[in-house]
Structure 1
C-alpha cells in the first residue's frame, strides 16, 4: 500500500467519523424531543440549526471523498459549539441563567438531564461539535502536509 493511499484512508476515516458523530447527535436530539418529550429551548434550537446540516454536508462529503468540505463544516461546528458553551454556562453558572430572556416556554437554564452532575444536553452537543471540529482541523493539517 503506497503512502498516498494511506493518507486517503485516514482522511476518509476522519470524514466518516465526523459524519457519524453528527448523525448520532442529530438522532440524540430527536430522541430527547420526540420520544422523551423534552421541549427544546431557544438555544437548543440554535444548536440544532448548526448540527442538522452537518449530517447532510458531511454525509455527502464522506461518500464523495470530498476533503474540501472543511470550508463548510468547520464554521458550522465552531459556531454551534460556541452556542453549546454559552448554553452550558447558562445552566451551570449561577447568575448567568436567565441573563438572556428565553422566548420559548422552556428557560435555557433548565436541565432535562444531569448525568454525573455535569453532563447535560448542551454538554453532549458541545462534545459532538468539538469532535467534528477536531476532525476538520486534522483534515486541514493533512491537506496542507500533502
Structure 2
C-alpha cells in the first residue's frame, strides 16, 4: 500500500511540474509577448500533453503512464539540452542550423547568467523524467512480488 501512495505522490509532482511549465510558457508568449522559436515549439509539443495525460492518470491512479511519460520527457530533455547549448555554448551556436524567423540563440530571460527559458524547460523535463522513472521502477518491483 505504501508504494501506491509514493507512486501517487510522484505522479502528482510530475503533473504539477507539467502544469507550471505549460502555464509559464503561455505566460511568456501570451502575456509577455515573447514569440517562441522553433525549438521552443518542439518543447511545448512535448510538455503540453503531460498536463492532460498526467492529470487523467492521477485521477484514475493509472501508474502505467509512467513508462510513456518517461520516454516523452527524455525526448523533451534532449530538445531542451540542445536548445540550451545553442544559447550558452558558442561552438554549438556557431555550428547549429538556422532555427527560423525567431533565432534559437535569443534569450528573452537570463537570470543569474544561466537560467533561460530552455534551462527552465530542461529542469521541468528532468523532474518529470525522474518522477516517471521512480514510479515505473516501483511498479515493476511490485509486479515482481506478485
Alpha-carbon contact 2:67-2:136 (below 8 Å) kept: no
Which residue of the partner structure matches residue 31 of structure 2? 35
SS of the residue 1:115 aligns to = coil
| 1:82 to 2:85 alignment | no
> What's 2:127 paired with?
131
Q: What's the counterpart of residue 16 of structure 1?
A: 12
Please, which runs of 5 or more residues in structure 2 have no aligned partner? none
Aligned residues: 141
Question: CA shift at 1:22, angstroms?
Answer: 0.3
| 2:50 maps to 1:50 | no
**What TM-score do you get using the length of structure 2 for normalisation?**
0.93
Gaps of 5+ in 1: none
Give 1:92 deviation, angstroms.
Answer: 0.2
2:99 match: 102
TM-score normalized by the length of structure 1: 0.93
Indicate the RMSD between aligned Cα atoms, in angstroms.
0.9
Work out which structure has the larger RCO, using CA pairs closer than 8 Å and 6 or more positions apart in sequence. 2
Cα deviation, 1:99-132, whole Å, max 9, x if unaligned, reads 21112x2100000000000000000000000000
